């Protein structure tokens, strides 16, 4: 047992820090600092991806032969942590984090050869077609049909909560290829061009006034059978594997550390009604200490999980997902207190990438209300907190 | 970074667990608690023979020189089996303070302790201290041949069985309060031991210092050295209390899941109800989150990292909070039976509540964490 970073890891950390210092432009950093969501805004995410792709760091989890890295688990954690700490935007995960590893594991040679480079270069932007209006937590009850027609499928149905579909050109979907078998058995995993005839993308405005989510409609959309990933009717296995990648491979504590750094900064700038700085207020300090302690517990739990799993996410990712998202919501709520009188101001344009105009109130808290609202979704998406508890009850406790 | 035990550590964990499984079931523990003797002397001797009493002491003092990780492993099992024998009091507190001193009697005394022949207690905290090491009122006045001690030490665990006690007092030297530690035989005239039983099945005492006259040779340490001894000893102790919590949480979760799988109401196992499943999952989450901070703080302590104090405070807060939640859930899920003296569940709850208030309550350590954290993030701090 030890906490030590090896000399190689320290050298790696310094290399990452140096790279971040050189490469993060002020507007990228502003955009990273003022994130309101698990996603950065689209423009800054893609701008940062281009810089990382050139460096060869856009997809650390992929094998080197596909443009990934040979980093150890420790190094990947260091990279994620340092990136968050420096205020780097987050890359959109649908291509790099989710589909990439799936193609590497289940894809044909042709699919890997054609699609992986286009993910890295940003030429393809992918979105995830999992949930449907009638299939949220109960994902296996999805209804979207794919009916064989010669070498093609004809797709009909609708997907919802497809993040960034309005900015994407491709979608990976779970579809029913066999309606007569058990729910999980008749599902396939298929890749679709969003510019195919019959596809309509309808943006959904979230409660923070922004569009991240969409609903995608499919009406007699023709897709080649070559676009299947894995075999027909074995999509559920692929889907489950992807959900683990979606839940894992994320450094919750680093994101929360960033939230806490913002809270501490504001607590040193903002005063309570009584006229003292928040950082000196006993009620506020007590709450902050509680959350900082929870952050440390989460941090070392994530470290433990990463060391145990050696890069292979398992059931413990459910624990981390629940603890991470629930804690981040608690920090959101504490931040609201600090924003004070300016909390109601709606100035979303001031949060956009490259914004140089004026705004009212402290810039350091500009994202707080939007972040609070947006983050309500974190305990719902990727398997809700309740679904995660069901998984743990079954898989860990044997209930 | 690595969170796995090495082979020797796994072996130690296995042997302590196996020993307690064979020798320390709950019924037997309860017989001991209800008997006339505070703890099982035979068991203590067996532990001495197994070498476990020597774990935290240097080879020079006749010990095994084990690290905080090995001690954590042992204390997790002691917590899991609700062991009342005074490992904590004699080894960690008394032995911990003694081993850090430079007193000539140290080695001889520790060797007796390691062989199981000597028991000790550390009498530092007082009614108003509430965990703050600097906050005591007992007074030492310098006499011709030594010192005279006056004051009262509160809730000194194991004092009724101790052969020696280490006592702290403040000596007023040129207007400055000098902290002093004394090593006294428990039968010293003027030392009045007002013994009682505790809620968690142990024995403790109020220790009255009624003008205790001691030789200069009884002085163990003073000033910054005495303070350092107490700080280090109590930091070790806090980590081991967290380890005890950890073992208790694990066992409570195990027993609760087992019970919920067997107990039937409305024609089905109560463990099939989602509301109870989620409560048990929360027990599991709490157990694992607390474990992570216990490991982190223990390793920080082994490394003597500058932020070890911050991590120890954090671990104590998390461990107390989680252990209390786990124990309360265990009682709730077991139902009425857990509120009886017959079942182990309530005894875990009692020990957990007591441990959460020893050497500073959860709130005290939360304030301590807040203070250290502000220093860490202050301009020029380490973060």
Angle, CA B146 vertex, CA B140 and CA B147 arms, to 5° = 15
Say if the Cβ atoms of A392 and B377 lie within 8 Å.
no
Per-residue confidence band for A246, with pLDDT thresholds at 50, 70 and 90 = low
Give the nearest partner residue to B277 out of A4, A74, A399, using CB atoms: A399
CB contact under 8 A, A4 and B367: no
B9 contacts in chain A (CB < 8 Å): 1
Best CA proximity match to B226, nearest among B294, B304, B124:
B124
Q: State pLDDT tens for residues B58-109.
A: 999 999 999 999 999 999 999 999 999 999 999 999 999 999 999 999 999 9
Chain A CB contacts of B257 under 8 Å are 397-399
Closest CA to A327 of A363, A274, A287: A287
User: Mean pLDDT, to the nearest integer, of A297-324?
Assistant: 82
The kind and range of the H/E element at A217 are: strand A211-224
Averaged pLDDT for residues A87-113? 95
Q: What is the mean pLDDT of residues A351-369?
A: 92
CB contact under 8 A, B278 and A386: yes
Give the long-range contacts of residues B267-275, CB within 8 A, separation 24 or more. Answer: B270/B333, B271/A399, B272/A399, B274/A390, B274/A393
The CA distance from A288 to A263, in Å, is 9
DSSP state of A183: G
Of A210, A246, A257, A270, the active-site residue reads: A246
| pLDDT value at residue B304 | 95
Portion of chain A with pLDDT greater than 90, in percent: 82
- Chain A residues with CB within 8 Å of chain B CB: 1-5, 74, 264, 279, 285-286, 288-290, 292-294, 296-301, 303-304, 307-308, 319, 322-323, 386, 389-390, 392-393, 396-399
Residues A52-95 have pLDDT tens digits of 999 999 999 899 999 999 998 888 889 999 999 999 999 999 99
Average pLDDT over residues A9-38: 94
Q: Which domains does chain B have, with CATH numbers?
A: 7-118 (1.10.540.10), 121-222 (2.40.110.10), 226-377 (1.20.140.10)
User: What is the pLDDT at residue A264?
Assistant: 95
The answer to whether residue A134 scores a pLDDT higher than 60 is yes
Contact A399 B261 (CB under 8 A): yes
Count chain A–chain B contacts defined by CB atoms under 8 A: 121
pLDDT given at position B382: 55
More confident residue, B73 or A340: B73
Q: Which residues of A touch B70 (CB under 8 A)?
A: none
Query: What pLDDT, on the 0 to 100 scale, is given for residue A29?
Result: 93
- What pLDDT, on the 0 to 100 scale, is given for residue B4? 92
**CA B132 → CA A57, A308, B294, B351, distances in Å?**
49, 38, 21, 22
* CA B210/CA B189 separation, integer angstroms: 9
Closest approach of chain A CAs to the CA of B359, in angstroms? 19
Please say if the pLDDT value at position A248 is more than 80. no
Judging contacts by C-beta atoms under 8 Å, the chain B residues touching residue A301 are 288-289, 291-292
Instruction: Check residue B1 and give its pLDDT.
Output: 83
Interval B346-357: pLDDT, tens:
999 999 999 999
CB pair distance less than 8 Å for A304 and B3: yes
Q: What is the pLDDT of residue A309?
A: 58
Would you place residue A314 in the very low, low, confident or very high pLDDT band (cuts 50, 70, 90)? low
pLDDT at A159 over 80: yes
Backbone angles phi, psi at B157, to 5 degrees: -65, 140
Q: Where are the beta strands (DSSP E) in chain B?
A: 120-123, 139-142, 146-157, 164-173, 176-185, 191-197, 203-215, 219-222, 264-265, 268-269
Q: Which domains occur in chain A, in start order?
A: 7-91 (no CATH), 126-235 (2.40.110.10), 248-395 (1.20.140.10)
Least confident of A355-359, B250-254, B285-289: A355-359
User: What is the percentage of chain A residues whose pLDDT exceeds 70?
Assistant: 97
Active-site annotation holds for A356: no
């Amino acid at each position: 047992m030890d906490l030590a970073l090896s000399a190689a890891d320290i050298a790696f950390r310094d290399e990452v820090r140096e790279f971040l210092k050189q490469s993060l432009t002020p507007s990228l950093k502003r955009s990273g600092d003022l994130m309101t969501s698990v996603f950065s805004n689209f423009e800054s995410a893609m701008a940062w991806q281009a810089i990382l792709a050139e460096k060869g760091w856009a997809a650390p989890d992929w094998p080197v032969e596909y443009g990934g890295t040979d980093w150890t688990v420790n190094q990947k954690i260091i990279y994620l942590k340092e990136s968050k700490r420096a205020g780097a935007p987050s890359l959109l995960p649908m291509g790099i984090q989710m589909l990439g590893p799936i193609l590497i594991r289940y894809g044909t040679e042709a699919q890997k050869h054609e699609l992986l480079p286009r993910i890295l270069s940003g030429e393809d932007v992918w979105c995830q077609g999992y949930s449907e209006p009638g299939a949220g937590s109960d994902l296996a009850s999805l209804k979207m049909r794919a009916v064989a027609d010669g070498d093609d499928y004809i797709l009909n149905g609708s997907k919802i909560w497809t993040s960034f579909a309005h900015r994407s050109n491709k979608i990976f979907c779970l579809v029913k290829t066999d309606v007569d078998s058990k729910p999980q058995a008749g599902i396939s995993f298929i890749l679709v061009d969003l510019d195919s005839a019959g596809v309509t993308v309808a943006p959904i405005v979230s409660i923070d006034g922004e569009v991240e989510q969409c609903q995608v409609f499919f009406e007699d959309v023709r897709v080649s059978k070559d676009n299947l990933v894995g075999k027909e009717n074995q999509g559920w296995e692929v889907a489950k594997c992807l959900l683990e990648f979606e839940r894992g491979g994320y450094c919750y504590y680093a994101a929360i550390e960033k939230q806490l750094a913002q809270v501490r900064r504001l607590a040193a700038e903002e005063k309570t009604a009584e006229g003292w700085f928040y950082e000196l207020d006993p009620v506020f300090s007590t709450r902050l200490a509680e959350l900082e302690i929870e952050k440390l517990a989460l941090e070392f739990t994530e470290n433990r999980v990463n060391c145990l799993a050696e890069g292979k996410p398992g059931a413990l990712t459910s624990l981390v997902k629940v603890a991470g998202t629930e804690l981040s919501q608690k920090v959101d709520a504490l931040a609201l207190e600090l924003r004070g009188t300016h909390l109601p101001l709606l100035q979303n344009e001031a949060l956009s990438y490259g914004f140089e105009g004026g705004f009212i109130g402290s810039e350091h808290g500009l994202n707080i209300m939007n972040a609070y609202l947006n983050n309500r979704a974190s305990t719902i998406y990727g398997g809700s907190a309740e679904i995660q508890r069901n998984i743990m009850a079954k898989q860990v406790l044997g209930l | 970074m690595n969170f796995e035990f090495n082979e020797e550590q796994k072996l130690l964990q296995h042997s302590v667990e196996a020993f307690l499984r064979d020798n320390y079931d709950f019924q037997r523990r309860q017989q001991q608690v209800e008997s006339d003797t505070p703890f099982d002397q035979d068991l203590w001797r067996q532990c001495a023979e197994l070498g476990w009493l020597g774990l935290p002491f240097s080879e020079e003092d006749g010990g095994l020189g084990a690290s905080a990780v090995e001690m954590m492993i042992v204390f997790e099992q002691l917590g899991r089996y609700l062991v009342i024998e005074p490992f904590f009091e004699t080894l960690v507190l008394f032995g911990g303070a003694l081993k850090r001193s430079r007193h000539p009697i140290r080695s001889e005394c520790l060797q007796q302790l390691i062989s199981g022949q000597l028991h000790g207690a550390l009498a530092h905290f007082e009614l108003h201290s509430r965990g703050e090491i600097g906050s005591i009122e007992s007074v030492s006045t310098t006499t011709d041949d030594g010192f005279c001690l006056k004051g009262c030490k509160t809730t000194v665990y194991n004092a009724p069985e101790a052969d020696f006690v280490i006592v702290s007092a403040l000596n007023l030297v040129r207007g400055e309060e000098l902290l002093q530690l004394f090593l006294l035989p428990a039968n010293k005239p003027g030392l009045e031991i007002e013994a009682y039983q505790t809620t968690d099945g142990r024995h403790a005492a109020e220790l009255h210092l009624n003008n205790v006259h001691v030789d200069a040779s009884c002085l163990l340490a003073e000033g910054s050295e005495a303070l350092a001894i107490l700080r280090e000893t109590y930091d070790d102790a806090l980590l081991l209390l967290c380890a005890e919590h950890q073992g208790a949480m694990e066992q409570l979760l195990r027993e609760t899941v087992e019970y919920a799988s067997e107990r039937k109401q409305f024609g089905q196992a109560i463990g099939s109800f989602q509301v109870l499943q989620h409560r048990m999952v929360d027990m599991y989450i709490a157990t694992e989150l607390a474990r992570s901070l216990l490991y982190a703080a223990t390793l920080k302590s082994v490394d003597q990292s500058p932020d070890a104090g911050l991590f120890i405070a954090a671990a104590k807060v998390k461990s107390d909070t989680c252990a209390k939640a786990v124990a309360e859930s265990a009682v709730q899920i077991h139902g009425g039976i857990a509120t009886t003296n017959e079942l182990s569940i309530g005894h875990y709850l009692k020990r957990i509540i007591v441990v959460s208030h020893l050497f500073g309550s959860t709130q005290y350590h939360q304030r301590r964490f807040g203070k250290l954290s502000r220093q860490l993030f202050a301009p020029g701090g380490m973060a």
